[in-house]
Amino acid sequence: MKHLSIIILGLLTFNSTAQNDSTFIKSIYNEALSNGKSHEDLRSLCKDVGARLTGSAEAAMAVEWGKNKLEGYGFDKVYLQEIKVPHWERGTKEAGWIKNNNGELIKVHLLALGGSIGTNGLLEAEVIEFKRLDALKAAKKKKVQGKIVFINQPMDEQQINTFRAYGGCYPMRGNGAVEAGRLGAVAVVIRSLGIPIDEHPHTGGMNYNDSIEKIPAAALSTIDAEKLSEVLENGKARFVLEMDCRSYPVVTSYNVIGELSGSEKQNEIITFGGHLDSWDTGEGAHDDGAGIVHSMEALRILKELKYKPKHTLRVVFFMNEENGNMGGKTYAKIVKEKGEKQIAALESDRGGFAPRGFGCDGTQEQVEFLKSLVHHFKPYELSTFEKGYGGVDIRPLKDEYEGIPLFGFIPDSQRYFDFHHSPNDVFENVNKRELELGCAAMASFLYLIDQKL
């Protein structure tokens, strides 16, 4: 009889806890959808500050904006963390033309890749096409030397998860200038990493190798990549390019940090956030303004509902994810040197679309823990709880804290690469309700891991 009483008490406790979780999560969603601040906060970041390329005046204003917002929401601590960041500028607007074998000019839409050198005036040369980066790597130097390399590798539209398609093409952008420069090319232009066929070029970071001569690197819009390929099918062509971009010495910037102090385990930290910087071509709305407001709004909701976290919940607006990740690297180094106990981290950096779930970069046991949370989210149509990637900004924590679980917010991916790194990444292309649902998912996930880790 005594054992039966213990079993009944355990079941009652379990049911009570489950009911409390369900009720609280419902209150989170109600607050996000009826009283949410995320959409207006995103509008302010995009319109009042603008695009926030590391080292720019807008990036400096974004730091002020972030600190003011966190202070305005009354979190327990708000402060800046100094970091050193690279400073690259696009300069005057890029220009480019295809010149076919009849001498006719076709103007194209293009953007310099982040970190590229300029052309030092007009640069003109014969253009040679490669369908994949691997084909360029296998080419003979005499075929490439003195020419402009065009890498026309499309994202795989058959991939349902578009981030996998992006991953398949990223080396073309990251390493195209190195491989083309190794063979004596004078410049490289790539097909933009985007699925739609449109006139919006997509920029993004690229690499150089100090042992190989640096050459200018740019991205063509997908519609212009199609045009150039068609011209080359009918004979030889030349490409004319001008870019005025350049790099400057490193500058001082800041991560922006806010906290709700833990009530039981104040010295154990759950870090979460997104990156405050963006490329300079749109407004950085999906990448990563959405992640910034997801994270800030999640903490605001928990505070508004008078939730007292067990662990310290720390939101971080990381600076410089796009072209150096110095915010993430510096943060991880500083918290380790301070002797902090970081127990988990969460990042939102995949846009402001409807939430689908969370991924875990961790052990099998940590992945199983993540999967155990799925039933809490079924009423809200989240079902993807699987092994995956945390995020660029929180990844350095893995180097400092062996075994730390890194979680990544997963929204629907189908439209993300319509906007990513392009002039089209503006506030108007973020849906208010989808953004609010993402904030509620983030707040609910933080609540659950705070309760159950």
CA 10 to the chain's CA centroid: 43
What does 39-84 look like in DSSP terms, one character per residue?
Answer: HHHHHIIIIII----TTSHHHHHHHHHHHHHHHHTT-SEEEEEEEE
Q: List the strands of the sheet with 148-151, edge to edge.
A: 105-107, 95-99, 238-242, 123-130, 148-151, 187-191, 217-220, 110-112
- How far is the C-alpha of 349 from the C-alpha of 292, rounded, in Å? 9
User: For the chain, first and last CA: distance in Å?
Assistant: 33
Q: Are 175 and 209 in contact (CB under 8 A)?
A: no
Could you tell me if 98 and 208 are in contact, meaning their C-beta atoms sit under 8 angstroms apart? no
Q: What is the CA radius of gyration of the chain?
A: 24
Q: Which letter, b or e, does each residue of 301-317 get, where b requires 16 or more Cβ atoms within 10 Å of its Cβ?
A: bbbbeebebbbbbbbbb
CA within 13 Å, CB half, 380: 32
d(C-alpha 69, C-alpha 28), whole Å: 20
Is residue 297 annotated as part of the catalytic site, yes or no? no
Half-sphere exposure of 451 (CA within 13 A, CB side): 17
Q: Are 242 and 123 in contact (CB under 8 A)?
A: yes
Selected catalytic residue, list 58, 129, 283, 321:
321
Half-sphere exposure of 394 (CA within 13 A, CB side): 30
97 close to 218: Cβ distance less than 8 angstroms: no
Distances (CA, A) of 408 to 60, 208, 235, 360, 389: 27, 29, 47, 6, 6
**Residues with a known catalytic role:** 321
